[in-house]
Amino acid sequence: MAGEDRARAASTGASGLVRPPRVRLDQPKPPRRRLVPDYDPEAFGRLSERIARFLGTGRFIVWMTLVIIVWVAWNIFAPPTLRFDQYPFIFLTLMLSLQASYAAPLILLAQNRQDDRDRVTHEQDRKQNERSIADTEYLTREIAALRMGLGEVATRDWIRSELEDLIRDLDDHRALSRSESDEDR
């Protein structure tokens, strides 16, 4: 009880008025209640993509056609007391409009998500292409430098031709020195 009295006294001023509780800056605020329910946009997007994929199949068209045929046949051939949608089939029209009003935004959401994925893929492809071009240019420069360097390197054929020239020069020089020595005698 003494602890409560001290806490109450600390929250009241000299005039005895109750002050609002202090806001603690070292703690997160408690979550507030919201009117709009909280949902995971990724989960909703995945669900919309699954629905859009199903709506774009032949299976959906076959099922929808069968439902409409059964609906119309029931409301034409069933006993009058069991019919729930008379000839202009207004309820069928309402149901198809409701289905279309939900299908269109779901399909658009799925398309937007696919566009986002395509944009990311194209951006990654563009960056990869830029890296490939830079690598190709680098390798081209390296090959050109190697070719220029090889132009300055002595090859086996060049060395062979130089040695053959030297041997010819030596043979010519010996022949000259022999002929001079023969003349001197």
The band of 15, judged by pLDDT with boundaries at 50, 70 and 90, is: low
d(CA 173, CA 185): 19
d(CA 59, CA 66): 11
The residues, any chain, with a CB within 8 Å of residue 82's CB and separated by 6 or more, are 74
What CA–CA distances, in Å, run from 74 to 69, 82, 93, 132, 160? 8, 9, 15, 65, 102
Q: What percent of the chain is predicted at pLDDT more than 70?
A: 90
Mean pLDDT (the chain, rounded) = 86
How high is the pLDDT of residue 75? 94
The band of 185, judged by pLDDT with boundaries at 50, 70 and 90, is: low
pLDDT in tens, 24-66: 888 888 888 888 887 888 888 898 899 999 988 999 999 999 9
Q: Provide the whole-model pTM.
A: 0.52
Which one has a higher pLDDT value, 156 or 21?
156
d(CA 95, CA 99): 6
pLDDT in tens, 149-169: 777 777 788 889 999 999 999
